[in-house]
Structures are given as structure tokens and as C-alpha cells.
Amino acid sequence: MHFTSYLITTLLTVAPALVHANDCEHWQSIYVLKCDVPNKGPDPVPTACRNGTLEEHLPIFKKTRRNFMDFAYLNGGFCSGGCYDVVKKMKGRLGWTFQMTCLIPRANKKHIGKFKEPPQDLERLDDHKCDVNCMPAIGANQDCYVSFGRC
């Protein structure tokens, strides 16, 4: 019985440290082309999204992708990161806009370098979830694929 109490004490001391040992997380940035805002009052509300064609806006999305990939390279470690293709998104009766989703499966929580702000026409929505290993554990069937927010 004496041995068991020492074992329990040791486990209770070490277990919390193991739970918080992960220094990475799922990181997602969604870049959305802003809608037209004709009224510049105190609470501007878009009245229409007349964003034209993707070809008109592709250069700013390409630049934003390069900036994100630079950040992912520094902060993603073994798994780095990437961006999906730009897609057209309906905004209800307002019309449409374009958006690009970028992910880092295992982003370091302590960021290295600064995250560049997107061009003026784009809005960046960041989200991060889960406490994950920075390096996939092969024995635990982990890899660099991520279903964002599914821990």
C-alpha cells in the first residue's frame, strides 16, 4: 500500500505537465474580399457586393497567399501549411464576394515573425483551435492532414 501512494503522488504531479506539453494548435485564416460600403456613417453596413470577376482580384489573393505561406513556413514546423483555391461566396441578397481559406495544421503558439496584414481590399478572419503536438506522432497515426477544429 505504501508503494501505491508514492505512485499516485508521482502521477498526479507529472500528469498535468503532460496535458499542457503541446506547444502547437490548428490555425486557420480566412481572407474575404470586402463588400462595397457606400454609406460611411458611424456603423457602415454593406448595401451591395459588386465584386466583379475573380480575375480582377486574383493578384491580391496571390500576394496574400505568398505572405501566409511565409508565415506558415516559419510557424508550421514539420507540417508547414497551405491555402485552398479562391472561391466565390454568395452574401444573400447583397450579391457575392470571394474568399480564400488558409490552414496550418500544427502552428507554433509562440509565433515567429509578424503576420503581414492583408491588402486593404481583404479582411482576415483568424481562428485557432486544439492543443496539438508540433510534430506528428507516427505511432499514434498522426500526420499533417487536419480537419480544422477536430481535435
Name residues whose C-beta falls within 8 Å of residue 31's C-beta, 6 or more positions apart in sequence.
61, 64, 99, 100, 101, 102, 118, 122, 123, 124, 125
Residue ranges, the chain, pLDDT below 70? 1-21, 36-48, 50, 92-93, 138-142
Task: Please report how many Cα atoms fall inside a 13 Å half-sphere around the Cα of residue 112, on the Cβ side.
Answer: 13
Instruction: Find how far residue 92's CA is from the centre of its chain.
Output: 25
Predicted pLDDT at 139: 63
Predicted pLDDT at 9: 43
Distance CA 76, CA 107 (A): 5
Please name each of the domains of the chain with its CATH number: 24-36+46-131 (3.30.70)
Predicted pLDDT at 35: 77
